[in-house]
Chain A
C-alpha cells in the first residue's frame, strides 16, 4: 500500500485530523494490518514538507493539540498522476517459494512433491479466505479476493514448473556451466 497516496485520497473530500486518517486508512486500505499512528504522522510530515498537504487548523482542546490537514493543489496533482499511471507490473514473486523450486530443480529433487505440499497449504489458506469473504465487510472481502487470485497464480506457476521440470533441469544446469 502507498500510505502517502491513501492519505491524499482521503483528504480529497476535506481536511482531517491524523487520528481520523489513521482509522480511515485501517478501515479501507489495511483492514488486516492496522498502521501505526506514528506512521500516519510521519506520512503527513513528509507530505507537508513536499507541499502536498498543508496545516489547516490547530485545535486546542484538552490534551495534545489536534492538527488538521488539508490537501493542496500539488497534492491533488500528485494523486491524479499516481492514479492515472499504471503501476510497474512487477510479479508478486514469493521469493522463498521461487528459491525453493529452483533449488529443487538444481538438486534433482522431486518437484511434484513440493507442488503437492504447496498446493495443500495454499488450498487450506484459500478455503479460509473463501469462507472469510462470505461474512467479511467489503474491504476485507476485496482483500481476500485479491489474495485468492494471487495464491491461485502461485499454484498455476508451480504446476507449470512441475510439468516442465525435465526441460528446466537441463537448461538450469547448462546455464550454470555457461556462466560459472
Chain B
C-alpha cells in the first residue's frame, strides 16, 4: 500500500488521468542480483513521469519491463487493461513497434540513413509505403526545430539535433507511450533543455504518455511527477 502511494500523483493542478500502464508487484532478477523486488506503478494517459534513483537502483530495468523489452520474473504489466508481460517475443516486438516509442541516451540513429529516413523507419517497418512514411516523417521536423536537416546523416548533425531526430522517430507512429532512457544524458544543458521542451510540447497535444528515466533533476522537472527507485523498490514515499 505504501509503495502504491509513492506512485500517486502529486497534487499539481492535474486531475488523476485514466490509468494506461499498470505494473503490479514486478520482480526481476539477474543471476544473484535482485534488480526489482516488487514494484507497483500506475501511469496515466498523457502523464509525463520521471523515474529517478541512484545508479544500479533498478530504474532502467523497470523501464525495460514496462516497455516489454524484458519479461519480469513475477508480477504483471498491463497496457490499456491488456497483459503484456505474458506475450511472446514476436508479439512484444510488434507491440513495441505499434504502441511504444523509444528515445535512448545515444540516439541510436542508423548512421547510413538520412535524418528523414531514420524518422520514417518505424513506419516502413510497419508496412507503410516509402512515400507516405517519408511524408509523415517530414511533418515532425518543423515542430522539433530540425527543419532543413532532413537529408543530413547522423554524422553531420550535432548531438542535440540527432537527439531531436530520435524524438521525431519515437513519435512518428503516434505511440501510446514514449519511453526515454536518459534522453539528455549525452547533451549539454542547453541542448538537453531544448530536447525536453520539444518532447513535452509534442506530447502535450496528443495525450501521449512519457516515461523518462533520468538522474537529472532539471529533466525530471519537466515531468508531472517522479517515481524514485532505490534497491529495486519504490522509494520516496511522500503522502500527498
| A residues at B contact (CB < 8 Å) | 112, 116-117, 119-120, 122-124, 126-127, 129-130, 134, 148-149, 151-152, 155-156, 159, 163
Contacts and interface: CB of A to CB of B under 8 A. Distances in A.
Given A123-B221, A152-B217, A116 B235 contact: yes
B1 interface: no
A116 B54 contact: no
B238 A120 contact: yes
A119 B236 contact: yes
B35 to A, nearest CB: 18
Contact of B222 (A112, A117, A130): A130
A119 B226 contact: yes
Contacts, number: 51
A152 B237 contact: no
B48 to A, nearest CB: 10
14 contacts: A116-B236, A116-B238, A117-B236, A119-B226, A120-B10, A122-B217, A123-B221, A126-B218, A126-B220, A127-B221, A127-B222, A129-B221, A152-B218, A155-B217
Contacts of B238: 116-117, 120
Interface string B8-50: 0010100000000000000000000000000000000000001
Interface string B208-233: 00000000111011111010101000
Contacts of B235: 112, 116
Contacts of B237: 116
Contacts of A163: 54
